[in-house]
Chains A and B, each alone.
Chain A
Amino acid sequence: MSTFTNSKKRFAASLAVVALISVGLTSIPVAANAAPVCATVGKVTSCGGATTDGAKYAIQVPSNFNGTLFLYSHGYRYVMDIPGYSTAAVLANPIPGPTSSDYSDMTTIGTLLEEGYAVAGSTFPVLGWNTKEAIKTNVELIGVVKKKFTKTKKVIAWGESLGGYITQALAEKYPKLIDASGLMCPALGNVAAELATAGDFLWGLKTLFEPKIKGRNYSAGIPGMVEAGTDLALLKALADKLKTSIGTELVTSAPSWPAGAPGAAVLGAIPVRSVLLYIGLMAGIPTRSAHFDGVSGPGADGSSTAFGFAAVGSPAFAILENGFNAAGLAVLGTYDLEKQSGGPFYDNTKTDYAKRVTVEKSVYNGALSGSTAIAGIQLALANAAFAPRWAADPLAAYNFSKQIKHTGKLNHPTVALTATEDAIVPEGNTQWLINKQKTAADKAKLLVLWNAPADAYTTFDATGTPVSSTPEANGTGHCNFTADQYLAVAHMLADAVDNGGKLDTGAFRDYVVATTDGISIEPRKGRMQKFYDK
């Protein structure tokens, strides 16, 4: 007798994980361009190999295999090794399912195996933005699994971040190959939407705070890598300066611009916290982050100190934390896709940044230091002499536009797991997919599990300084999910494929939601990415 209670899952995981950690990461046999090489340890058969494009793969099948495979697509992997930002070499190992960020927690994979599901995943043949290549690898990998394990009848594709993008693209292009899709912290729609957020934020930082940032148009080869690495160092240093500035401003109530910031000459009377907040808002970066909740402040609840920090300090710190946590992807993603496109593709020459904050300038008016300050920032950013825009290379922009995009069509049951305060892939990606479902039949194919953080989670030390060394709050960060949350996706999809491709809308769904901490299916309207504000 078994149920899917938390205690059961923990029990199952404790049995399976011990074996899987050693099997999953270090002992899967490798056989390039050949049939998979397999070994059975305990109740799990683990196979390794490589697809014809050279991607390494891992397949794990339990002895009680029920015929359903979970095909996993991992997220974006940086194209170069930069200490502190990128560990591409380490990440070349194939992972057959979601794990914790340090790969120490294999609970999700272990639980699925224990429940009788097979799991598989690959490295893909190339790093970086690789949708086209990943689809090809996944198609071949499905064939490998079906050939080796003929009991395989159903395929559930699922993936995280870029892996979500790959999964949706795979589902749209090969609807008959898979039976259901799981999209976790997914990028969706158009990669341009993601890169526009990065470009807008980098442009704003360069224009107002750090002119040495290159931000785009990186050189080819090693020089380009050096330029990107230099940008990352500049951004790290800038983050430290801005943190100091904001902290000082909250104490003195006077603007405190970092030395050398171009914005000081024209916006020096406006606090740095307000200007940074504006840049974040125009780029579409969430105002709640891993350690800043927008509601907490030092001192007693209801005190002026607590209120002031929550209202004007927390949003700025959240932009700082979210924006700079995404800096790695912003710089290295831009470098990667410029390389693929043949030059700079980002273009903000026609972007109306003022229009982008139509709502936000009302909502965050006080934190932005008022309408007069907002108008001043907008005037500065619209001044071509002070704030020259970045124009794309036409050919590169054309090439970039050929990156695979989604139509949003759902051919089978799809479950999305989306953090409302995702710093890197904003919830607007998922909202885009929601908006694409026009008919009742289409809407019935999509279930979105929203992962919102707790109302309050910012902590302060004895001096009243916010603490940022604690783990990221669930619902913030990027793909910062618990094993239970991943399993909620898996269980909803598994249920659907066993029941004629219909997502449950009754007691089963409600049970899964109610017994999984941190998720809900409340109808909500996610903030669309600013890219779509034409």
Chain B
Amino acid sequence: MMRFTRSKKGMIGSAIVAAAALAVSALPAQAASTETQGVTATQITLGISQPTNGPASYGYNKVAPAMDAYFKYVNANGGVNGRKIKLIVKNDGYKVTDAVNKTVELISRDKVFALVGSLGTANNIAVSNAVDLAGQGIPSLYVNSGFSGFANKSTYKTMFPLFPTYYMETKVLGEYIKKNFPGKKVGIIYQDDDFGDDALAGLKQAGVTPAASIPYASLSQSAATAATWVSKLKTADAEVVIMYGVTSAAAFALGTAYALGYKPQWIIDSVGGVSATLQLLGIQAPLLNGVITSSFLPASTDTTDEYIKLFQTINTKYNVAGTKFDDNVVTGMNTAMMTVAALKAAGKNLTRSGVIKAIETKGKTFPSASLAQPQFSTTSHVGYNGFWIGTYDATGTLKPETGKYKIYTTDSGSGAVKVSTWKRPAMPAKGLPK
């Protein structure tokens, strides 16, 4: 009878070899290789966890395919330092537990080099803690959230938010309201979590005191709850209403208010105010007429913008056939472009710490469609820092307030809101970061 010892290993060697092929997906990461996990001589594997189906997927389910389309475009043009990019997309249904599960799969089974574009404040907090991204040195590039806490480099050492923060957004909107709607009673409906709390704090910093402040718990939005919002806003005589929530909540608010004959000046945040997504949720374009929102990317309808023109071309050639070009596609492609810039800047000898260092030291100059400048530095992981404000017309097209983009910049503290003087550099040749 044989014992199960090292001396037996030679005898079972063939079994190990045979099993290794079967077991490769379950094999553990080796410490020595974690810096370059997901990188071969010819390929860089990236991963994203986001909802591709379910009630939270509207609009967001276009982001990953758009990223993939841009990566395919880059691959067709030589790749990144000779390597092709492979993007693995996992559907987390926007559920916290699934986001953790899928991220573990991406890292341990699919062996991705980095995460990119992961969606959601709560999900990213959960993943960061449960998977210990910082402890493992795993880059989480350009998370799809404006939660100001993610810019805390000491807590989220390997995470890089891209979007300007929710705090910045309401500071900007607050200043806009004070200037454009002086004396009007303001109401705010906000998601009662880190997302909305950030926004409420920014509005307070801007010196706007709402006459009605209505929180709603994430996942509680419905036509019935929206009716209670409208009732409270009416009671408070709110004339200007900030809707600071996700698109499903914004859709319920707009639709219910319309049905109840309540017509304030709506101002919707950049998350919930995406025309294409609102229309997918049943809000007809004419209902958006006059609604104000903010953005940091050029409007997807702005065909004068060189980035938009390029992205439209890529969308047609490389995205899933029939994908309608909209702001979600622009977001995805811009995130992908920033990713390629980071990977290129990290050099031929690509490592996880190398890409983090590249963003910290060079990220401020990465090419991007954004009209606000990235702020990455060795001391800060803040991404973009500003917004332009626009108004939807009856076709659902967002028009800048003065006919052209005016960027308001600020910070997530007590800094002033200023009109930016930064000019976005010309797009690199063919839209390929150097």
Which residues of chain A have a CB within 8 Å of any CB of chain B? 1-5, 64, 66, 114-116, 253, 287-288, 293-295, 301-304, 306-308, 310-312, 314, 359, 362-373, 455, 491, 494-495, 498-499, 504, 507-508, 510-511, 513-515, 520-525, 527
Contacts and interface: CB of A to CB of B under 8 A. Distances in A.
Contacts of A365: 122, 192-194, 217-218
A504 B216 CA distance: 53
* 8 tightest A-B CB contacts, nearest first: A514-B23, A370-B192, A294-B97, A370-B217, A366-B218, A302-B53, A525-B132, A2-B2
Nearest to B53: A302
Contact of B1 (A2, A310, A359): A2
Nearest to A304: B55
B290 interface: no
B93 A302 contact: yes
A369 B55 CA distance: 18
Nearest to B94: A307
B121 interface: yes
B52 to A, nearest CB: 9
B394 interface: no
Contact of B54 (A302, A455, A525): A302
A66 B1 CA distance: 10
Contacts of A522: 28-29, 104, 107-108
A525 B96 CA distance: 17
B197 interface: yes
Contacts of A370: 191-193, 215-218, 220
B77 interface: no
A366 B97 CA distance: 13
Contacts of A5: 15
B419 interface: no
Interface in B1-22: 1-7, 9, 11-12, 15-16, 19-20, 22
B20 A510 contact: yes
Contact of B20 (A293, A312, A494, A514): A514
B28 A521 contact: yes
B26 A372 contact: no
Contacts, number: 180
Interface residues of B, number: 59
B26 A513 contact: yes
Interface stretch (B123-131, B166-174, B316-324, B408-416): B123-131
B130 A66 contact: no
A312 B219 contact: yes
A295 B194 contact: no
B152 interface: no
A39 to B, nearest CB: 22
Given A1-B2, A365-B194, A513 B27 contact: yes
A366 B219 contact: yes
A362 B122 contact: yes
B135 to A, nearest CB: 6
Scoring A1, A514, A521 by chain B CB atoms within 10 A of each residue's CB, the highest score goes to A514
Nearest to A314: B97
B192 A288 contact: no
B193 A307 contact: no
B265 interface: no
A359 B101 contact: no
Scoring A301, A369, A525 by chain B CB atoms within 10 A of each residue's CB, the highest score goes to A525
Nearest to A523: B136
B54 A303 contact: yes
Contact of A362 (B11, B191, B193, B220): B193
A514 B197 CA distance: 45
A327 B29 CA distance: 38
Nearest to B52: A302
Interface string B277-313: 0000000000000000000000000000000000000
A287 B129 CA distance: 15
A364 B126 CA distance: 9
A364 B104 CA distance: 19
A372 B192 contact: yes
14 contacts: A66-B3, A294-B98, A301-B54, A307-B55, A362-B194, A363-B129, A364-B122, A365-B193, A366-B217, A373-B192, A508-B6, A510-B16, A522-B29, A524-B132
A293 B97 contact: yes
B5 A498 contact: yes
A306 B93 CA distance: 10
A3 B6 contact: no
A178 to B, nearest CB: 18
Contact of B19 (A1, A293, A491, A515): A515
A190 B299 CA distance: 58
A137 B39 CA distance: 54
B397 interface: no
Given A304-B55, A521-B28, A524-B131, 19 more contacts: A4-B12, A115-B1, A115-B4, A294-B96, A295-B98, A301-B54, A304-B54, A310-B97, A365-B192, A365-B217, A370-B220, A371-B193, A495-B5, A499-B5, A514-B27, A515-B19, A524-B130, A524-B132, A525-B131
Interface in B120-163: 121-122, 125-126, 129-132, 135-136
Given A308-B219, A511-B23, A302 B57 contact: yes
B86 interface: no
Contacts of A287: 97
A244 B29 CA distance: 45
A4 B19 CA distance: 12
Scoring B2, B9, B93, B217 by chain A CB atoms within 10 A of each residue's CB, the highest score goes to B217
A121 B129 CA distance: 39
Contact of B12 (A3, A294, A494): A3
A362 B123 CA distance: 9
Contacts of B432: none
B234 interface: no
Given A370-B217, A507-B16, A307 B27 contact: no
A511 B219 contact: no
Nearest to B104: A522
A304 B222 CA distance: 11
A372 B136 CA distance: 34
Contacts of A295: 93, 95, 97-98, 101
A116 B11 CA distance: 18
Contacts of A302: 53-55, 57, 93
Contacts of A303: 54-55
A2 B12 CA distance: 9
Given A5-B15, A295-B98, A520-B26, A362 B215 contact: no
Contacts of B93: 295, 302, 307, 310
Given A495-B6, A511-B16, A525 B129 contact: yes
Interface in B93-125: 93-98, 101, 104, 107-108, 121-122, 125
Contact of B132 (A2, A363, A508, A523): A523
Contacts of A64: 1
B228 to A, nearest CB: 12
B88 interface: no
A470 B23 CA distance: 29
B56 interface: yes
B380 to A, nearest CB: 21
Nearest to B14: A3
Interface in B188-230: 191-194, 196-197, 215-220, 222
A294 to B, nearest CB: 3
Contact of B4 (A294, A372, A491): A491
A2 B7 CA distance: 13
B217 to A, nearest CB: 3
A4 B9 CA distance: 11
Contacts of B101: 295, 455
Contacts of B191: 370
Interface in B246-288: none
B132 A301 contact: no
Contacts of A114: 1
A513 B108 CA distance: 13
Contacts of B217: 365-366, 368-370, 372-373
Contacts of B104: 522, 524
